[in-house]
Structure 1
């Protein structure tokens, strides 16, 4: 079964695996930003994706409207609600980046305009 998960490279000691919540599995992920969003010193994740052009048998994979996952010291992640995050990206995102120190997320979308969200 395919799964979106977190792998942390520990150099010559291999990788450390972190599992992501069910919400991270609902649609393909094409863009990830890792940053400390709430100032607690722990990296949080913003995920973006979707795929509208899937085969007819499978249907569309469009359940990711910009997903924010808040991390803890044990590599556990909890989902921030869409209302709390303020993200509403309904396009097929193909890349996601944070613009330097501006705290602005930029979503590069397929067949749709680029979208930007400034974090509070």
Structure 2
């Protein structure tokens, strides 16, 4: 069943165009980024400019804490639109890119999260990136959040096909549910920082 959980007050200050889901702090619980603001209003209406881009850290139970800009480092004052999550510098931390109307695109490098395991898929012919597959991290017999590889998200955006799986303890395995219903499980070698998982269950350590 579904339960309605109101977001914090800070999420109500400006319209939201993109919602990006990722584990930005590397604790194994999904977080949210909201791209905010809308300036193209009627002449008699004040523009909606109360947001600077908002990071919401999840507690893994459906609750979210608004992280102020002076703590998160996210201070985008323009009319934000698309947003995408990716580990741009391959350090095991999820970075963020935010576009703006009539202003520069912002690349925000994540410097404080706990590094996670980078995972890329080698899908079957016709789907080499494994679009539509769902990846879950296993540690201590517990499965982490489901992470889908998708070809589009939010507002005219696309997250990276290389996902970062974080958590409080190193992963011991990864479960992949592929499009078409096939499920594979793989053991993560100790110390691995990046792996490639094949459609046939193969595991290749890249870092």
TM-score, structure 1 normalization: 0.79
* Distance (Å, rounded) in 1 between the aligned partners of 2:28 and 2:88: 16
Q: Runs of 5+ in structure 2 lacking a partner? A: 112-207
Task: Tell me the equivalent position of 1:27.
Answer: 14
Q: 2:47 aligns with which of 60, 71, 75?
A: 60
| 1:39-58 paired onto structure 2 within 5 Å | 39-58=26-45
Q: Deviations over 1:11-49 (max 9, x none)?
A: xx6x44332111111101011211112222110111112
Deviation for aligned residue 1:100: 4.7
| 1:84 counterpart = 2:71 | yes
Q: Runs of 5+ in structure 1 lacking a partner? A: 1-12
How many equivalent residue pairs? Answer: 107
Task: Tell me the equivalent position of 1:117.
Answer: 108
Task: Tell me the equivalent position of 1:9.
Answer: none
What is the alpha-carbon root mean square deviation over aligned residues? Answer: 1.7
| 1:67-106 paired onto structure 2 within 5 Å | 67-100=54-87, 102=89, 103-106=94-97
Deviation for aligned residue 1:88: 1.1
Deviation for aligned residue 1:104: 2.4
3-state SS, counterpart of residue 113 of structure 1:
strand
* Distance (Å, rounded) in 1 between the aligned partners of 2:44 and 2:59: 38
* Distance (Å, rounded) in 2 between the aligned partners of 1:95 and 1:56: 25
| 1:9-20 paired onto structure 2 within 5 Å | 15-20=2-7
Larger Rg, first or second structure (1 or 2):
2
TM-score, structure 2 normalization: 0.48
